[in-house]
Amino acid sequence: MLEYDEKRNYIRMSVDCELTYKLADASESHSGICTSISGSGVSFIADQSFDPGSAMEVNITPKNAITPPMTAYIEVVRTTKQDSGRYEIAAAIKSIKGH
């Protein structure tokens, strides 16, 4: 059995895969990098900042063929500016779109 020290309901997995993101009411999507995902949340690197509470849609494309792509509706919890000038977006997964 896996053991972990995080005080979370789900284990957070570090990942490094492509994702696209857009605001819920937007038609234009942008590319980013998914950095971690769990059963209840996701974090990714984006070129722009988003306010907490912003509703978004993300499409995560894993690097391996074993894991299928996932589209999720998320709510931004936190945005942190990185040294690179990009932003780390932390968000809660509100629902997952079926394929």
| CATH of residue 63 | 2.40.10.220
Is 11 within a domain?
Answer: no
**Residue 6 within any structural domain of the chain:** no
pLDDT in tens, 39-85: 789 999 999 999 999 999 999 987 777 667 889 999 999 999 999 99
In a domain, 8, yes or no: no
Q: How confident is the model at residue 1 (pLDDT cuts 50, 70, 90)?
A: very low
Residue 11 scores a pLDDT above 60: no
In a domain, 12, yes or no: no
In a domain, 45, yes or no: yes
Provide the β-strand partners of residue 33: 18, 45
98, two tokens: 């079926």
Residue (of 87, 75, 97, 74) closest to 33 by Cα position = 87
- Could you give the number of structural domains in the chain? 1
Q: What's the Cα-to-Cα distance from 89 to each of 3, 45, 77, 96, rounded to whole Å?
A: 27, 6, 8, 18
- Residue 58 structural domain: 17-97
pTM of the model: 0.81
Asked, for residue 68, whether it belongs to a domain, the answer is yes
Within-domain flag for 3: no
92 inside domain: yes
